[in-house]
Chains A and B, each alone.
Chain A
């Protein structure tokens, strides 16, 4: 690689290791590309998570899903899934590792919560090495960018990130490498290790839309890095952590998908949208998801007219009518104004998003409006059915989930339920009763997840203390101890969740199956409930 002249371009990379079956790109790179281009900086976004799978001809496409028709049995859903999963496992076996569509690549003996483990295993060859050496790195060498930014979203991407950095440096790349994203922000100061800063130049915490352009201009013009917000960087005096500045709603970027292989993602393809940054509630005591937005997990709402323009522009540009809101919780104001605009301009589209069981969803007129505008599915945090113990989770949402499920159903909006079992103070009874409730009302439910409680970094769970293992310095989930009487232990929570998942695999396999999630809600295969609700209620009374 030529060491002298470097091109004034930023490469933005989504590293391998993220779940492979989403129908569209993670929204971080499209937002960062847009932020850079708005400041006159050339940027190229590369989804190496998708591209490394394509490198091995791994894919479940729309035609594979259509051939399932409406047979959502485990055997039928398994067919395309294990066709690809088995190929991946064969590839990984050569590296003494496992490679899973949902769980990423894991060599045996590797611990993604330990920086020492990542340091050692990132020196070894992996399933990604050939892709890095023959495709990604040569394309970088051809353009020799001044800066490479890598967005690390989940722990499963850490190993590939550092393997890539090592190979890139070995091939002679001397430009700047910065890491950011949800995972880097959550690990925070524990990232500040000498070996890390031998490979990379800086970290960006929280949102990077102001920080990356600012950093780029500083290195381009040889200016001090001391004023770049949210930057952690190495000087001759050691590691420096700059002040944190959170971006304001009028600085939110419009996603730019132009570099990405839109239409080439797995299953039914969609484009990603962002209406609000973070969670407008943000007080659920178990949840650390909004933390990395900054400002206690909430930065504010975008203008509904901006979101409307994103839909219209990208629908026309890519010919895709399906959109996924990646907001942590859809907000009624945004949704109402957006829906009115979509209807008044006669824009045909379908969309889905995460939501809370808040009372505005009981408003029939509102539901009719958003359904008419294209809302096809909501992903709701039920966690547990109502009981005195559910209040421990501090969700402060509606106490009438069933009524809301019925109203969603009446409005033609599908529902996914997240359940959470083993939260300290809740036990076997609450968990089993929740699954019994779900099965009893199964005609109102499209998909469901069972999650075991774990103590998430950056949360505070009353009367529960995390057990922090020094050897797992990059862990974002902790074991825990509590004096709450009868609280389940971590192993017990695992057993409880496995047993209840088995019940669902037996009764409604499509609820849990990743293949069905590539179909619903945008596929042409329509799920029909052949059994009448009254008959089901008798079975699960």
Chain B
């Protein structure tokens, strides 16, 4: 039950971030995230 609540909250938060990105950066542009794999994030050099 608690996990479901967490998942719902995370989905809602992710949607809110997406919305803000659309409004601020993408502005209706269809972001075409490449199907290419991406290196995992390191800590920089």
A residues near B24, Cβ cutoff 8 Å: 432-433, 436
Distance (whole angstroms) from the CB of A356 to the closest CB of chain B: 16
Given contacts A495-B10, A499-B14, A503-B31, contact A74 B45 (CB under 8 A): no
Given contacts A19-B45, A495-B10, A495-B13, contact A503 B21 (CB under 8 A): yes
Q: Does B5 contact A (CB under 8 A)?
A: no
Contact of B42 among A103, A436, A496 (CB under 8 A): A103
**Residue contact B42 to A82, C-beta cutoff 8 Å:** no
CB within 8 Å of B: which of A426-451?
428-429, 432-433, 435-436, 439, 449-451
Distance (whole angstroms) from the CB of B39 to the closest CB of chain A: 5
CB within 8 Å of A: which of B7-36?
10, 13-14, 16-18, 20-21, 24-26, 31-34, 36
Distance (whole angstroms) from the CB of A495 to the closest CB of chain B: 5
Total residues of chain B contacting the partner, CB 8 A: 26
Distance (whole angstroms) from the CB of B8 to the closest CB of chain A: 13
B residues near A296, Cβ cutoff 8 Å: none
Residue of B nearest to A449 (CB): B44
Q: Does B38 contact A (CB under 8 A)?
A: yes
A residues near B21, Cβ cutoff 8 Å: 432, 499-500, 503
Residue of B nearest to A429 (CB): B20
Q: Complex formed: what's the CA distance from A418 to B42 in Å?
A: 13
Top 5 nearest A-B pairs by Cβ distance? Answer: A102-B42, A74-B36, A449-B44, A499-B17, A436-B25
Given contacts A435-B25, A506-B31, contact A85 B39 (CB under 8 A): yes
Q: Does B41 contact A (CB under 8 A)?
A: yes
Q: Complex formed: what's the CA distance from A25 to B23 in Å?
A: 44
On B, residues with C-beta under 8 Å from A are 6, 10, 13-14, 16-18, 20-21, 24-26, 31-34, 36-45
User: Chain A interface secondary structure, helix, strand, loop or mixed?
Assistant: helix
CB within 8 Å of B: which of A240-265?
none
On A, residues with C-beta under 8 Å from B are 19, 21-22, 74-75, 78, 81-82, 85, 100-103, 154, 379, 418, 428-429, 432-433, 435-436, 439, 449-451, 491-492, 495-496, 499-503, 505-506, 509, 512-514, 517, 540
B residues near A496, Cβ cutoff 8 Å: 17
Q: Complex formed: what's the CA distance from A439 to B31 in Å?
A: 14
**Residue contact A101 to B39, C-beta cutoff 8 Å:** yes
Given contacts A436-B25, A491-B10, A506-B31, contact A499 B36 (CB under 8 A): no
Q: Complex formed: what's the CA distance from A503 to B26 in Å?
A: 9
Q: Complex formed: what's the CA distance from A101 to B43 in Å?
A: 12
Contact of B17 among A100, A432, A451, A491 (CB under 8 A): A432
Residue of A nearest to B41 (CB): A501
A residues near B32, Cβ cutoff 8 Å: 506
